[in-house]
Amino acid sequence: MTFTSITDQADLSGLSTTGTIFGIIVYVLIAIALWRVFSKAGWPGILAIIPIVNVFVLVKIAGYSAWMTLLYIIPIVGWIFSIVVAVRVGRGFGKGGAFSFFLLWLIPVIGYFIIGYGRATYTKPV
């Protein structure tokens, strides 16, 4: 990519700075919520901070083997598996499918805060 003027460079860096700050804020909020979710499920909460490890733990909380996390790498299968994991995690905390789809998969910041800081208790899904 070549930049013809200094304003092209400024436009690109301005966009990435805003997106980066927003991404960090969302990541920190999800890590805080997942910390409580992991603690309720019997896992160390500190694992919520580590980027890829938190996905492994969520898959374990959903009742699957950690090896199943590799399904996230396959393009379309990854999307479908992430929905299945969200529904299974929601079921483990006594929530229904609609709650799990919309608040754990679509808007995880809100959903994991509700599960983590609410009255939901964890029972391992069968």
The residues spanned by each domain of the chain are 6-117
Q: What is the pLDDT of residue 15?
A: 60
Q: What is the SS3 assignment for 42? A: coil
This prediction has a pTM of 0.84
Percent of the chain at pLDDT exceeding 70: 87
Average of per-residue pLDDT across 37-48: 97
Element (H, E) at 97: helix 97-99
Task: Output the pLDDT for position 36.
Answer: 97
Taken as a whole, the chain contains a residue count of 126
Residue 25 has pLDDT above 80, yes or no: yes
CA distance 118 to 113: 8
